[in-house]
Amino acid sequence: MSIEFCNLRCLRAAAVVLVAVSALLVSGVDVLVVSAGERSEGLPFTIKVTKVPCEDAPIYMGGVHGMDFPFCAVKIEEEYWILLGNAGRGPSRWKGTNFVNAVEQPDGRNDNRRHVARPYMLGGMWYDTGEKKLYAPMHCETQDGLGGGVNGIYRQIHLSSSTDKGATWKYEGPIVTQHDPALRRPTVYEFSGAYYDGGIGDFYIYEDTRGGYVYIYSNHYMWVKPDAKSKRLQKPSSFLWHHVARCAIADKMAPGKWKKFYNGQWDEPGLGGKASYVNGYYVMYNTFLKKYLSFNYGSGISMCSDLTKQDWTPSFEIQPKESWGTSWDLNTTWIGFGWGAWHVMNADRTDIYTGGQTLYWYKYWMDRKTECYRLDLGPGETATTGYHAQGGYGYAPTTYSPPFMLYGDIPAYDSPDPIESRRTRKVDRDSAEVKASDGWDKARTSSTAGSSLELTFTGADVYWRAARGPAMGKADVFLDGVLQATVDTWASFDTKDMFAFVKTGLDPTKPHTIKVVVRGEKNARSAGTSIAHLCFEYAAESYRASYGFSSVQGKNQWRYQERQGDKIADMTFLKGVWRGEGGAEVGFDFLVPGQGEAQAVRTWTAPHDGQVRVEGSVAAKEGMAATIAHNDRTIWPASSAAEEKPASHDVTLAVKQGDTISFAANRRGAPPVASDTKESNRGAMWDPVITYAP
């Protein structure tokens, strides 16, 4: 079954057709594609936004009690409680007649830190009226020993309970985790490529009494490895997406009773199971629309008709953030407008799970000024123009349904997400394999209507990546001569980490041609009509050195070795790089020869017979040499190459299972290179890729 990503997917709701790309696409759900004239880029209701004075906002929304996470709002009997617990302290407690007039109560106390590291009570609690018991999922953090900060944190969700309205607490156990807590969690460097898994947390909960479940919508983090942080890579420091898990209300949120949503099903365990990315986060049921709404990062709204299916639309921008009248920064950081923490409530501020035609959206974050917006929903349609992106940071853009989620150009092989873990061959923008018509500059940018790029490939999937930004325009995408989509590459901030088009499920045995044609058109918010092509990717059994780099010998078919004379030995992994006894090093995308004859060697072992293509470019220091060997035979010699003039290789050969292809760097009279010298002064910058022929 094929998966097709274009601008929007059709979602029929009553008499209204809402066209959107659904998160269900990643599960292989058939896609109904309509012609461009039938597409509607918007939500099937109107939204009027009015900023409401909020000078007397409660202190738990900011000020001295302001935290960098959302508080918990829960109705206990006929009382409205606010609770928040910071890293195991408290929780602080307030009680009122609604959720915005609560009065401070004595702090609660807990001993959760005896069981878990840094437990935060945030994002919501659930009260069992029959048992008269309060259940609090906890965002828990452990340090990964990387110097502190958010990049050194691993997140899990555990459970605590109270029978006295939060005055005292009992630890219950873990309920939703990225890795099974009963097993050893992989270390940072055991993950493949540039990023490692930072776990799941920073959630909101939703109680769905209609369906009989409690849901936890959480953030899933991917952090860049310390050794991959460099100006050369120019990668975001993190990526963030949403997972969802649920537990039957009858099971009272108990550990072991949670299931994650994955590929359209709820079969994966909450502890260590796989999860698909979804477009829901802060969820409410709306009685006016008779749909579920999610209020998301970037101040966007997505809509769902069935929580069992998680059939969320993209998260549409309600209106340009410049028109909200906010006093918050309009920048691209996660503490600017559209980020932080928030709560949405019904008209009388007594319900966070169900609302009607009028809603109140409270936005708050630490000591920033709390802001409140009244949202009035009505019949009609809210049109949106283009997509709002989050710029150079890895936080999800407002329209973040696949492929509009941020996906870096370095895949994460260990991810359960099919796009994030994709196995592809990348065809760079300046490759001779890409046929370009007139009208493109050297950077592969064009605003000339009718100018085109095309690539012929053999594979089941194809991806087109284009830069998005405030001056970007529209292009038509054809596959095998058939129009697939008209893509708008406008975004409110520049980003290179979004695919413009993805198509899967093609015949992997036949050649296909993807063609991009510039329309010379733009949407009303764009300042230009340019299309900036970055690369194509297509599905292939391909092994790029940097994508498969890890601290595990043999993972992804790669080994890291040092050769001295006729002897070759495996290296030892230390502080982000592999090191040999003679001082040679192998890193993410570089080789550094050691003392004397010590060569740095990166070795690939063929998993099966076939024909492979060995591509790459070497930038080595003067006096150094790079060689490629098939088993013991040199197949590519290279003389010294200055950094500004890299030496390229493109070799095709037949291999048998167990054959090796080795990439070695040695020095020819060059002085030793210390391991702590600047990157620009190191040995050979080399990121080879080996691809099996189809």
Q: Could you please report the per-residue DSSP string of 9-71?
A: -EEEETTEEEE---GGGGGT-------GGG---EESSEEEEEEE--TT--GGGSGGG--SSPP
**What was the pLDDT predicted at 251?**
98
Nearest-angstrom CA–CA distance, 362 and 370: 7
Alpha-carbon torsion 514, 517, 522, 523, what sign? negative
**Residue 448 · residue 519 · CB < 8 Å:** no
- Every domain of the chain with CATH number 2.60.120.260 lies at 395-540
Nearest-angstrom CA–CA distance, 510 and 580: 45
Tens-place pLDDT, residues 463-521: 999 998 889 999 999 999 999 999 988 877 788 888 899 999 999 999 999 999 999 99
Residues with Cβ within 8 Å of residue 524, at least 6 apart in sequence: 385
The DSSP secondary structure of 162-183, one letter per residue, reads ESSTTSB-EEEEEEEBSS-TTS
- What is residue 606's three-state secondary structure? coil
The DSSP secondary structure of 641-673, one letter per residue, reads --TTSPEEEEEEEEE-TT-EEEEEEEESSPPP-
Backbone angles phi, psi at 672, to 5 degrees: -60, 150
Conformation bin of residue 264: beta by default, left when phi > 0, alpha when psi is -120 to 50: left
The amino acid at 496: K
**What was the pLDDT predicted at 19?**
27
Nearest-angstrom CA–CA distance, 123 and 102: 17
Tens-place pLDDT, residues 625-678: 899 999 999 999 855 444 445 689 999 999 999 999 999 998 865 455 444 444
Render the burial of 236-269: b for 16+ CB within 10 Å, e for the rest.
bbbbbbbbbbbbebeebbbbeebbbbbbbebebb
Greatest Cα-to-Cα distance within the chain, rounded to the nearest angstrom: 82
**What was the pLDDT predicted at 336?**
64
**What was the pLDDT predicted at 669?**
53
- Write the DSSP symbol of residue 147: S
Architecture of domain 543-692: Sandwich (2.60)
Nearest 5 degrees, angle CA 643-CA 646-CA 648? 160
Helical (H) or strand (E) element with 222: strand 213-224
HEC string of 64-110? HHCCCCCCEEEEECCEEEEEEEECCEEEEEEEECCCCCCEEECCCEC
**Residue 175 · residue 255 · CB < 8 Å:** yes
Q: Which CATH class is domain 395-540?
A: mainly beta
Residues with Cβ within 8 Å of residue 658, at least 6 apart in sequence: 605, 606
The amino acid at 113: R
Nearest-angstrom CA–CA distance, 432 and 447: 21
Strands 282-286 and 354-355: parallel
- Every domain of the chain with CATH number 2.60.120.200 lies at 543-692
Residues of the chain with pLDDT under 50: 1-40, 147-149, 230-231, 386-403, 640-644, 670, 673-681
Helices (H), 350-411: none
Closest CA to 686 of 563, 553, 558: 558
Residues with Cβ within 8 Å of residue 346, at least 6 apart in sequence: 352, 354, 355, 356, 358, 359, 360
**Residue 311 · residue 299 · CB < 8 Å:** no
Strands 42-43 and 382-383: antiparallel
Closest CA to 205 of 143, 151, 134: 134
Backbone angles phi, psi at 235, to 5 degrees: -105, 150
**Residue 391 · residue 494 · CB < 8 Å:** yes
